[in-house]
Structure 1
């Protein structure tokens, strides 16, 4: 007579069925069954798996739940429950709402923690790291708010709270979880290529630069959905308003006043939006080619006129100096004679030979004479 032999390993558990009806649980070991008219079947369950997945085990839980619970930790979750299973103190898995999972008790010390997923949407900090490694993205959202940032948590589209830098884990099995992150550091926004008209109808192009930072994210999201677009539009409108109330001469001559006027217009609105703007200013003002050429001609004419005024002033000063010198020579014969000798020296430098017919007296008296003879 040939016996039917079944071997159950140390890491296995056997389910004995006779004529498809459950009989008992088989512990690890060797079993022999006499052949007969009854159909013998042994289902072997691998207890190493976390969780143990087998259709026979799930069916047995429906018909003999007390048998299954004697050998397995049964995580039978309700509609609003999330199961957190640990094995030997380590996170082993998550059990979704309205599902059942089986964890063998024989090989490990397993524990089950049930979280009310409908209300307790944030999981303890101790689970954040293990959940990030587990990667159960369909049940839990693990988010990170980096340094110098702040996060806003939304649950099913409703703002819940503000998050400081760090890592968080939220239950998303029953809810939609979103986290919006905001950079709190200084940022720069460029408003470039703005075509503008001055008060005297002169067209020009201007570029504006603003340095800003977010100081109140709650105000920011309450006022606008696109913070940078809102800031860009406000700066653009303020630039147009300020340039449009000034002539070209005022625009080119008072950039500081333009910057201050723009700040006065935008700072109250940006403060209501949770923004701080430490500095804002016009970086470039670009004139069209014909206007630039005209301005160059005006500047050239102004500089030429200034040069002529300076030249006339210097000529007048030189003439006045000559007049004063002449008056001094008129009253002082010795000074007059010295001037005549200076003139003689300069004349002598320009000629190689000077011929005189009257001796030294002719040189001193007739060659160079400032005062008329006999005066």
Structure 2
């Protein structure tokens, strides 16, 4: 007769089978069994982790459910139920609908909360943070719940099975996705900038040029935005293109270069109604740069140079005329005033003396003062 000894640790349970038939559960301790009374097998279950995964345990639940429920919390979920299991008061795991899980209750207190996954979409706020940590570590939990975060200055739109359900304010949310598809689309409500660069356009007088246009906008109504277009930036980009071409194509190059503010206002008048229908609010829009082809730019430079030369000639003639008129007025004053004439002669004498080294006169000082410089001949 042979005695078989089995030792069950403090963190284990044993399942005793004799000739493949279940006999009883072995709690922690030392057991001695006679081998001659049939084939003996002991399956040891490790209880250190709350969730116990063992095929023998699942089979035992089918044949001896009361025995399993004595030592384990059995989370047997229905078609529309989601199980939330707590161990020591902390979230320990999730149990999917139409599945069974076993949590050992020999080493710790465990409890089960059943959520109606068929009707409830959003999970309680108290579960959001624990579920976020659990989903980051457990792939099974990640497949059962969706964690969504809407940051400040953003808004979220919740879609359930492709249908828009609600608008989400900034915060963190947890949704049941075991029985449905969950999607959260976020929109930035702050001001954003979109530039359309290098657009080739033709003016009314058939001159080709390249232009850059910039728009500063914000999403004012996300519901309108998603209802009208699937790609908001692509929609705005194309509308900017169309508005630029329409405005530039109805103006000549001279009008385009001479009235930039009017061009910007015309573009804004075309865009604002369409973008308002798409839920966008545009704070400013305008042409940033206008780039002319090389030959047109050279021609414009020659035109500008000719205009500036003509303006300079006009100014020069105007100044010459003013100077001549001033000389005429001075001459009339000297003609009527001998003293003024004499002062002018002395002024001329001073200028002459600055440039002449030696002066020879034959009439003494009177000759220097009266005969050297004479503006008008003396009367005889």
TM-score when scaled to structure 2? Answer: 0.95
What aligned pairs does 1:134-283 form with structure 2 within 5 A after superposition?
A: 134-135=134-135, 136-283=141-288
Count matched residues: 375
Of stretches 257-266 and 300-309 in structure 1, the one that deviates more from structure 2 is 300-309
Match of 1:78 in 2: 78
Alpha-carbon distance in 2 for matches of 1:131, 1:88: 16
Query: What residue in structure 1 maps to residue 99 of structure 2?
Result: 99
**What displacement does 1:207 show?**
0.7
Cα deviation for residue 29 of structure 1 reads: 2.2
Q: Output the aligned Cα RMSD.
A: 1.5
Hey, what does 2:117 align to over in structure 1? 117
* SS class of match (1:138): helix
Q: Deviations over 1:232-283 (max 9, x none)?
A: 1111111111111111111111111111111111011111111111111111
Alignment-derived partner of residue 32 in structure 2: 32
Find runs of 4+ consecutive structure 1 residues off by over 4 angstroms. none
State the alpha-carbon separation in 2 of the partners of residues 43 and 324 from structure 1.
130
SS at match of 1:31: strand
Deviations 1:188-247 (A, max 9, x none): 101110111111112211111111111111111110011001001111111111111111
The CA distance in 1 between the partners of 2:322 and 2:278, in whole Å, is 65
1:279-294 matches, cutoff 5 A: 279-294=284-299
1:330 to 319, 329, 335: 335
SS at match of 2:83: strand
Please, which of 296, 311, 317 is the counterpart of residue 312 of structure 1? 317
Deviation at 1:37, TM superposition (A): 4.0
Deviations along 1:65-106, one digit per CA (max 9) or x if unpaired, are 111112211111122221111111111111112111111122
Stretches of structure 1 that go unaligned for 5 or more consecutive residues are: none
The answer to whether structure 1 residue 63 and structure 2 residue 63 are counterparts is yes
Q: Please say which of residues 148-157 and 82-91 is displaced more in the overlay.
A: 148-157
Q: 2:213·2:288 contact (CA, 8 Å) conserved in 1?
A: yes
Task: Give the SS at the match of 1:356.
Answer: coil
CA drift at 1:311? 1.2
Deviations along 1:128-147, whole A, 9 cap, x unmatched?
22112212211111121112
Task: Answer yes or no: is the 8 Å Cα contact 2:82–2:116 preserved in 1.
Answer: yes
In structure 1, C-alpha distance between the alignment counterparts of 2:271 and 2:280, rounded to whole Å: 11
Contact 2:2/2:36 (8 A) holds in 1 = no
Partner SS, residue 257 of structure 1: helix
Could you tell me how far apart the structure 1 residues matched to 2:371 and 2:33 are? 161
Counterpart position of 1:298 = 303
Structure 1: distance between partners of 2:172 and 2:79: 28
SS of the counterpart of 2:261? helix
Deviation for aligned residue 1:38: 2.1
Using the TM superposition, give the Cα deviation of residue 363 of structure 1 relative to its aligned residue in structure 2, in angstroms: 2.5
Q: Conserved in 1, the CA contact under 8 Å of 2:153 and 2:189? A: yes
Q: Which moved more, 1:169-178 or 1:234-243?
A: 169-178
